[in-house]
């Protein structure tokens, strides 16, 4: 992947009257990467993507996309962008094929080119059969897929998607994630917003956490995962409650903290690697058998909760609906 920046956002702000929706954010996106903007409801994700794609005017700050000043010269910047808004911008009465061709015409594509590209996209998105049905007859997942197909009609260099998998069925969400990964393989840069932490962890190269209009952390997923300072953690499951053995276990493995949990389980946490033998030997002496000792690795959700203090239970519950929950 090239390390050249294709997008540079500097001190970008948006105020609506007394509300500061986006507050002096700065970040850059490398060419060919998937960059995720992650944050809770009302954090400023849509406002940011709208400013980058010309759907909202910044109050202050600059946006440079592929060398183009996207605040002053949005039309030129839009010619290399694909835009997938959170609500579809396609026409209900037109069928799928005509919607795609219409978008191609807006980008100045000649008739033959837009028709062959429209057919190619319908096939790629598994929508060939639905191609001659009116858009209003599409399911939510089909609507989202056609909206993404329309954004890709002119083979944009950079694709912007606002919550691409929110509120759709598991299979369509999975197809969309695979499609984004394939687009990246072919060199398309992708900026997406999501409030599904696991989705960001799974497909993004880099993410920024946005809370109340401000970026509170930014970096590669692996860098953020390494930033928790969690050290090491192991979860033990045994054939008896481990509560009575907590103090002795802590004494036998210096520097570790042991917490008994329901279901004959316990978590051992330490800054250092945790030696298993003294733990298993001691429990064995006490007549307790350990069935499982599993290393716990931090997730992006742990990092998010640690940095923002926001519990991500709501995001997790919704993520399960689109097939990415743990």
Ligand X SMILES: Nc1ncnc2c1ncn2[C@@H]1O[C@H](COP(=O)(O)OP(=O)(O)OP(=O)(O)O)[C@@H](O)[C@H]1O
Count the neighbouring beta carbons within 10 Å of the beta carbon of residue 11.
12
Is residue 251 within 8 A of residue 279, CB to CB? The reply is no
Instruction: Give the three-state DSSP class for 104.
Output: helix
Would residue 213 be called left, alpha or beta, if left means φ above 0 and alpha means ψ between -120 and 50 degrees? left
CA-nearest of 283, 286, 276, 288 to 235 is: 276
44's contact among ligand X, Mg ion, none, with CB below 5 to 8 A by partner kind, is ligand X
Cα atoms in the Cβ-side hemisphere of radius 13 Å centred on 182: 9
48 sits near Mg ion (criterion: CB under 5 A): no
Note whether 97 and 119 are within 8 A (CB).
Answer: yes
Residue 47 lies near ligand X (rule: CB under 6 A): yes
Chosen residue from 22, 25, 46, 71 binding Mg ion by CB under 5 A: 46
- Least distance from C-beta 31 to ligand X, angstroms? 25
Which segment (46-54, 114-122, 174-182, 314-322) binds Mg ion by CB under 5 A? 46-54
How big is the site for Mg ion, counted in residues (CB under 5 A)?
2
> 32, 44, 58, 141: which one contacts ligand X (CB under 6 A)?
44
Contact pattern from residue 158 through residue 197 relative to ligand X, giving x for each residue in contact according to CB under 6 A and a dash for the rest: -------------------------------------x--
Q: Does 275 bind ligand X (CB under 6 A)?
A: no
Q: Which residues pair with 12 in a beta bridge?
A: 25
Q: Is 255 left (phi over 0), alpha (psi -120 to 50) or beta?
A: left
Instruction: Give the shortest CB-46-to-ligand X separation in angstroms.
Output: 3
Interacting residues with ligand X between 186 and 245 (CB under 6 A)? 195
C-alpha 237/C-alpha 294 separation (Å) is 9
Complex with ligand X: residue 43 or 159, whichever CB lies closer: 43
Partner in contact with 90, chosen from Mg ion, ligand X, none, beta carbon below 5 to 8 Å by kind:
none
Tokens of 290: 């350990």
To ligand X, the closest distance from the beta carbon of 16 in angstroms equals 3
Q: Which residues sit at the interface with ligand X, rule CB under 6 A?
A: 16, 19, 21, 39, 41-47, 195
Q: Which residues sit at the interface with Mg ion, rule CB under 5 A?
A: 45-46
């Amino acid at each position: 992947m090239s390390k050249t920046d294709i997008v540079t956002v500097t001190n970008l702000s948006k105020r609506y009257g007394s509300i500061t929706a986006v507050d002096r954010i700065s970040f850059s996106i490398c060419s060919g990467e998937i960059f995720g903007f992650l944050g809770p409801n009302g954090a400023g994700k849509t406002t940011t993507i709208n400013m980058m794609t010309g759907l909202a005017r910044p109050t202050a700050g600059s946006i440079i996309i592929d060398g183009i000043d996207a605040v002053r010269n949005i039309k030129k910047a839009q010619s290399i962008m694909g835009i997938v808004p959170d609500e579809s911008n396609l026409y209900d009465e037109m069928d799928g094929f005509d919607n795609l061709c219409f978008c191609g015409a807006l980008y100045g594509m000649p008739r033959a080119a837009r028709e062959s590209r429209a057919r190619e996209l319908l096939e790629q998105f598994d929508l060939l059969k639905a191609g001659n049905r009116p858009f209003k007859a599409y399911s939510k997942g089909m609507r989202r897929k056609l909206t993404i197909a329309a954004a890709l009609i002119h083979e944009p260099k950079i694709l912007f998607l606002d919550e691409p998998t929110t509120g759709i069925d598991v299979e369509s969400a999975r197809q969309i994630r695979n499609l984004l990964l394939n687009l990246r393989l072919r060199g398309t840069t992708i900026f997406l917003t999501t409030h599904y932490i696991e989705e960001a962890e799974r497909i993004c190269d880099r993410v920024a956490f946005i809370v109340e209009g401000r970026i509170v952390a930014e970096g590669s997923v692996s860098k953020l995962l390494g930033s928790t300072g969690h050290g090491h953690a192991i979860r033990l499951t045994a054939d008896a409650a481990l509560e009575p053995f907590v103090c002795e276990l802590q004494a036998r493995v210096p520097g570790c903290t042991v917490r008994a949990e329901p279901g004959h389980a316990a978590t051992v946490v330490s800054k250092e690697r945790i030696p298993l033998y003294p733990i298993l030997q001691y429990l064995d002496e006490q007549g307790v058998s350990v069935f499982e000792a599993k290393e716990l690795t931090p997730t992006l959700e742990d990092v998010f909760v640690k940095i923002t203090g926001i519990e991500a239970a709501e995001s997790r519950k919704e993520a399960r609906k689109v097939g990415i929950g743990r």
